[in-house]
Chain A
């Protein structure tokens, strides 16, 4: 148990709907990352926060995606107008050092 929790674990949504995922790292994690993983691939970087500041966003993060980390604690990732290509495992990771500790992920299925 890494102490990083993600909710929900699974989400099935219809194409065009909006979805929001939540990540709760442990309090010591000043950096928080979002990754996306599809079958047969390694996790792909989406965005990361240093405390509450969003410092970097991947070009994978289209304008339909938005992430927040209010007060530098939990984080949310919202996907608007979901598309079938958004189906993936969304992983959150927290760290205060170099090794990132991942939550169990949210499996999104867009039908």
Chain B
């Protein structure tokens, strides 16, 4: 049973346009969410995170939106650049608010290709 789902295995966007990567989760106990980016033959790199008490967090070109009622989050990249081409993973933690956070649960990833 996948608790974190990324239903789009791939996404292509034109350079300069907005990339929107989506993620859905089923476990209502998740209270912290993260996005990671992964290049081939490397480990995932942390990008941005959001607590469940917020609905938006922004860091430069990256913005994460959280809709708790829909159990949905999205990562917006604007403007997209060719160097953003990578696999993006959504991940979630539970127990953060109670101080008992444990392991990350990852989605299956979305391959983003930014076309020049």
**Contact flags (1/0) for A81-104 with B, using CB distance below 8 Å?**
000000000010100001111111
- Known contacts A98-B32, A99-B49, A41 near B43 by CB under 8 Å: no
**Contact flags (1/0) for B1-31 with A, using CB distance below 8 Å?**
0001010010000000000000000000000
Query: B108 contacts A48, CB within 8 Å?
Result: no
Query: A43 contacts B46, CB within 8 Å?
Result: no
CB distance from B4 to the nearest CB of A (A): 8
Q: Which of A41, A100, A104, A105 contacts B104 (CB 8 A)?
A: A100
Query: B49 contacts A45, CB within 8 Å?
Result: no
Give the nearest-CB partner of B43 in chain A. A102
CB distance from A96 to the nearest CB of B (A): 12
Give the nearest-CB partner of B9 in chain A. A40
CB distance from A41 to the nearest CB of B (A): 5
A17-63 residues at the B interface, CB under 8 angstroms: 33, 35, 40-45, 48, 55-56
- Known contacts A41-B108, A43-B89, A104 near B102 by CB under 8 Å: no
Chain A, interface size category, equals 20 to 34
Query: B93 contacts A98, CB within 8 Å?
Result: yes
CB distance from A107 to the nearest CB of B (A): 7
Known: A45-B103, A56-B103, A99-B49. 16 other contacts (CB 8 A): A2-B45, A35-B106, A40-B9, A41-B108, A42-B4, A42-B109, A43-B89, A43-B104, A43-B106, A48-B103, A98-B101, A99-B34, A99-B46, A102-B45, A103-B43, A105-B42
25 inter-chain pairs at a CB distance below 8 angstroms, sorted by A residue, are A2-B45, A4-B43, A35-B106, A40-B109, A41-B108, A42-B89, A42-B106, A42-B107, A43-B104, A43-B106, A45-B105, A48-B102, A56-B102, A56-B103, A91-B43, A91-B44, A93-B43, A98-B34, A98-B93, A98-B101, A99-B34, A99-B49, A102-B45, A104-B41, A107-B41
